Amino acid sequence: MHAVRRESRDVDVVDAFVDLQQPDIADVVQQTQGRRIVVPLTLWHDDATAREVHGLASGDADVTVTAPIGPDWVLAELGVRRLIEAGARPTDTIVLAGGPADSERAVRDIGKAARLLSAVWGGRVHVGTTYGGLGSPLAEAIDIARAYQRRVVVSMYALTAPATVRGIGDLGADVVTGPLLAPGATDPTVVSLILARAAARGSWVPVGRDPARGA
């Protein structure tokens, strides 16, 4: 977030968290005044995060919640960069590892991320989710990829390395990429993506509403 703060000229940037980390987003909203824009740094729609931030927005007309930062072409391009760095070849079978998916909307978002990665990579991308939940389990997706009798490369769809990254190799993948953001590094394209979400000021669709169906 330091990089976002450096590049932001029109607004103050304040860190906040939805989980057990501090400062808690509810406290930050209460302790600040005026127009506030919440940008969820999630790569797909997450119901738990949506309930938390929309609860804050519903109680304060000056609070706006943007769309999450993913899926997006910027992240797909980063994913391909990580594939190349990991030594992926055009003949490999690629599996995007996302998750956890706690709703059908999350499954659709992760599926879209796989399609965007496929378009940039130029080849088919399978998709699996970790940590349980909805969607095809990653282990199952890797098994299906194995049927092509090629090397299986897992593309980590995460900003930073999740706790399960070491166990993914045990599922049968030949290669596992690094997360989208290299440890200790920032990427100007991700910074621009975050700032673009803030500038758009568009709200998430309320929890339980399917944007594809309009209700």
Q: Which domains does the chain carry?
A: 2-69+186-200 (no CATH), 73-176 (3.40.50)
Give the chain's mean pLDDT.
Answer: 88
Q: Nearest-CA neighbor of 189 among 40, 33, 3, 37?
A: 3
Q: How far apart are CA 77 and CA 119, in angstroms?
A: 10
| pLDDT(129) > 80 | yes
pLDDT tens-digit readout, 142-191: 999 999 999 999 999 999 887 666 678 788 899 999 999 988 778 999 99
CB contact set of 91 (below 8 Å; sequence gap of 6+): 150, 151
Q: What is the pTM of this model?
A: 0.89
- Quote the crossing angle between the two packed helices 188-200 and 73-85, to the nearest 10°: 170
Are the beta carbons of 159 and 41 closer than 8 angstroms?
Answer: yes
Of 122 and 6, the one with more pLDDT: 122
**pLDDT value of residue 156:** 95
| pLDDT(210) > 50 | no
Are the beta carbons of 73 and 81 closer than 8 angstroms?
Answer: no
Question: Taking the C-alpha atoms of 91, 109, 81 and 96 in order, what is their torsion angle to the nearest 10 degrees?
Answer: -40
Q: How far is CA 1 from CA 39, 83, 98, 101, 124, in A?
A: 12, 25, 22, 25, 33
